Amino acid sequence: MTDPTASGTTANAAPGWYPDGSGGQRWWDGTAWTDHVAPSPAAAQPFVRPALPEGARIDTVWVWLVALCYLVSCVSLVFFDMGGYMRAVLDVETSADPSALMGALTGYVVWFLITWLLGLAVWGFTIFAAYRDYKHLESIGVVRPFHWAFTFIAQLVYLIGRHVVLRKVSRTTGWPLWIHIASYVALTIVSIVWSLLLVQSILSDFSSYVRYSSSLS
């Protein structure tokens, strides 16, 4: 057992853990050894994932479904007739007949319910696809793949984490991630253009309504 006072310049070494000569540690209370022992602290070894073999099929249909399945829920936007709804509102003002407005409201409620159910179904299926992708990565030898449950937050979170992990074990290009981001950008641009055209149509209808109202007064 190593005497902590042997190499010190003071009569008594400070209390602490010191090697006991057998590969472990014993507590020195400042004056004598105690019965408290502990294993020697091992140097922390970084976790390293083994590399995948060349030619391992990383990206299957499941990850592509995670990357692009959300686009299905956007299809309902094509059937959203905000211009028709606004025209129905203006027709009520001019004709005092609420039947057209009730029809437009009914159509809007039906569209909203279908859109909500479709989005919920796509969200659930995307989570299932992420789970299948996770199990596939395990089957080809990826140790501790990025967990599929992050898809509950967003597909982008899962795809980014997945790409970071796979870059450590392979030379993947990460196309599902980049295509997913590109599709978001494209969808954003289309949405902006669609919104501008919709506003233009509504303003045109409103201008026509104002001119019609002026001609009656």
Could you report the per-residue pLDDT of 171-181, keeping only the tens digit for each? 889 999 999 99
How many angstroms separate the CA atoms of 48 and 109, rounded?
A: 53
How many angstroms separate the CA atoms of 116 and 121, rounded?
A: 9
The pLDDT confidence band at residue 133, using thresholds 50, 70 and 90, is very high
The pLDDT confidence band at residue 92, using thresholds 50, 70 and 90, is low
**pLDDT in the model for residue 1:** 60
Cα-Cα end-to-end distance for the chain? 108
Residue among 17, 41, 20, 42 at smallest CA distance from 28:
17
**Do 90 and 205 meet the contact criterion of CB atoms below 8 Å apart?**
yes
Residue 99 has pLDDT above 70, yes or no: no
Mean pLDDT of the chain: 83
Comparing 4-8, 82-86, 100-104, 184-188, the range with the smallest average pLDDT is 4-8
Residue 198 has pLDDT above 70, yes or no: yes
Averaged pLDDT for residues 83-101: 67
Residue 106 has pLDDT above 60, yes or no: yes
For residues 55 and 164, which has the higher predicted lDDT (pLDDT)? 164
Q: What strands, in cross-sheet order, belong to the sheet with 33-39? A: 16-19, 24-28, 33-39
* 153 token code pair: 């937050």
Most confident of 6-10, 15-19, 183-187: 183-187
- Cβ-proximal residues to 10 (8 Å cutoff; 6+ apart), any chain: none
How many angstroms separate the CA atoms of 84 and 202, rounded?
A: 9
27-65 per-position pLDDT tens digit: 888 888 888 788 776 544 567 788 898 889 999 999 999
**Do 100 and 84 meet the contact criterion of CB atoms below 8 Å apart?**
no
Phi, psi of 38 (to 5 degrees): -155, 150
The half-sphere exposure of 138 on its side-chain side, counting CA atoms within 13 A, is 10
- Other CB atoms within a 10 A radius of the CB of residue 23 amount to 8
> What residue spans of 49-98 are helical by DSSP H?
61-68, 82-95
**pTM (predicted TM-score):** 0.69
Residue 203 has pLDDT above 50, yes or no: yes
The pLDDT confidence band at residue 197, using thresholds 50, 70 and 90, is confident
**Do 136 and 60 meet the contact criterion of CB atoms below 8 Å apart?**
yes
Residue 162 has pLDDT above 90, yes or no: yes
How many angstroms separate the CA atoms of 37 and 43, rounded?
A: 18
